[in-house]
Amino acid sequence: MEILTNTTPVEVAANAEMLKYNGHYGEFGGAYVPPVLQKSLDKLANFFDSEVRKEAFQKEFINYLKTFVGRPSPLFLAQRLSNYVGSTIYLKREDLNHTGSHKINNTIGQILLAKRMGAKEVIAETGAGQHGVATATAAALLGIPCKVFMGKIDAERQALNVRRMRLLGAEVITTTMGTATLKDAVDAALGYYIENPESYYLLGSHVGPHPYPRMVGYFQSVIGTEARSQILKAEGRLPQSIFACVGGGSNAIGLFSGFLDDVEVTINGAEGGGLAIEGNTAATLSFGKPAVFQGTYSYCLVDKDNNPMESHSVAAGLDYPGVSPQHAQLRDTRRANYFPVSDSEAIDAYKLLSRLEGITPAIESSHAVALAIKMLRDKGELAIVNLSGRGDKDVERDM
């Protein structure tokens, strides 16, 4: 990408470079699924490949991002935070997107695919309900019936999001399997998908079997292309470091994708540390091991018998024992660094940013803010922090 001048408007565009990844990220990635599912995934992979390069598809995707989501999202110079930390910190404002987070970038892209495939319904899993709401929103936009699978415990904890999904016309199906949380919702949705292969399974993060990481990474890369040209426009140079929180890894890969080839940019991921000790954490890349989990080979939190373990984080969106296979590769090749951020560090950053800037970040995004504060102290660096979502949903809890 060339250096942009001050008069160039910021384009809303995904990064075509992301299409070079074909399901494998070094030794990570792939598709570990039963043969019936493999057939559906092959069909989806081929369909995505043929559609994504068509001008008509690109036009529709970009148009919805501009007029429905509200892109490009601003890059905001957080002056009071910068003064407080002693570095120049810009926030990429994904919190200003329609429905309040980056998740809508992906659901819009995939719902367009679903429509073009002629899918009669879309199905999705959700933990805290944010991906469920983003999917129900996109499904309502295009008039496609929508079923959202959710653990019963999560549905009780997130009653407001269940109401939002129903208001948007989605059917919410709760499961009592396992611990009745996100991992079980994924299993329930996969089970339904195997029996109803004509449905479109709309996966919400940079995880799962190929082609999901490829598709989600591409749709979210719009964050990085915008951020890169915005910082060049504002500062005339690239940042020294960038920060994002990592749950499954979709908002992070979205931002990172714009800077992977810029070796002078240091890339940092903030994981949900929980209590930041083994056994009480969601920091998969910090505490996990390579394993096959929910259709892909990547890092996973496992017990001593190598079985997937329950994760713990104050942030529902980070509370997942798996992670994106591309982040696994970026970790092992040391192109990116990943750090556990504890619950209490994230809560402090959540409060601090609210007071310093008048922006209440999602508790997930607060992990990235906390890591940036810690690493940028008195460094005089230029940095970008991805504010993946807004924190209105978290205010109800007394943190």
Q: How many residues in total does the chain contain? A: 399
Distance of alpha carbon 5 from alpha carbon 9, whole angstroms: 9
Binding to ligand PLP by residue 125, rule CB under 6 A? no
Among 154, 319, 343, 364, binds ligand PLP (CB under 6 A): 364
Among 129, 213, 248, 274, binds ligand PLP (CB under 6 A): 248
Cβ 376 to ligand PLP shortest distance, Å: 20
Site string for ligand PLP, 190-229 (x = CB under 6 A): ---------------xx-----------------------
Segment contacting ligand PLP by CB under 6 A, of 2-10, 110-118, 239-247, 281-289:
239-247
* Residue owning tokens 């714009």: 258
Cβ 195 to ligand PLP shortest distance, Å: 27
Distance of alpha carbon 94 from alpha carbon 388, whole angstroms: 5
Question: Pick from 266, 52, 39: which is nearest to 31 by CA?
Answer: 39
Mark whether 39 is an active-site residue.
Answer: no
Tokens of 33: 């699924």
Cβ 3 to ligand PLP shortest distance, Å: 29
Among 52, 73, 388, 394, binds ligand PLP (CB under 6 A): 388
The CB-nearest residue to ligand PLP is 389
Question: Pick from 198, 181, 224, 225: which is nearest to 313 by CA?
Answer: 181
Q: Write down the catalytic residue from 125, 271, 357, 364.
A: 125
Among 30, 249, 274, 340, binds ligand PLP (CB under 6 A): 249
Beta-ladder partners of 309: none
Cβ 240 to ligand PLP shortest distance, Å: 23
Among 113, 246, 267, 383, binds ligand PLP (CB under 6 A): 246
Rg (CA), the chain: 19
Question: Pick from 181, 222, 200, 213: which is nearest to 62 by CA?
Answer: 222
Binding to ligand PLP by residue 294, rule CB under 6 A? no
Among 126, 257, 294, 365, binds ligand PLP (CB under 6 A): 365
Q: Are 226 and 102 in contact (CB under 8 A)?
A: no
Binding to ligand PLP by residue 103, rule CB under 6 A? yes
Among 12, 89, 182, 362, binds ligand PLP (CB under 6 A): 362
Which of 88, 296 has the CB closer to ligand PLP? 296
Q: Judge if the upstream peptide bond of residue 211 is cis by omega within 30 degrees of 0.
A: yes
Mark whether 103 is an active-site residue.
Answer: yes
Q: Are 75 and 105 in contact (CB under 8 A)?
A: no
Q: Give buried/exposed letters for 355-370 (b at 16+ CB in 10 A, else e).
A: ebbebbbbbbbbbbbb
Segment contacting ligand PLP by CB under 6 A, of 8-16, 21-29, 250-258, 377-385:
250-258
Distance of alpha carbon 4 from alpha carbon 228, whole angstroms: 10
Backbone angles phi, psi at 133, to 5 degrees: -65, -40
Segment contacting ligand PLP by CB under 6 A, of 50-58, 195-203, 223-231, 358-366:
358-366
Q: Write down the catalytic residue from 87, 92, 94, 103.
A: 103
List alpha helices for 143-181, DSSP H. Answer: 152-157, 159-167
Mark whether 286 is an active-site residue.
Answer: no
Q: Name the E strands within 35-131.
A: 75-77, 88-93, 122-126
What residues line the site for ligand PLP (CB under 6 A)? 101, 103, 130, 205-206, 245-252, 317-318, 362, 364-365, 388-389
Which residues are catalytic, by number? 103, 125, 388
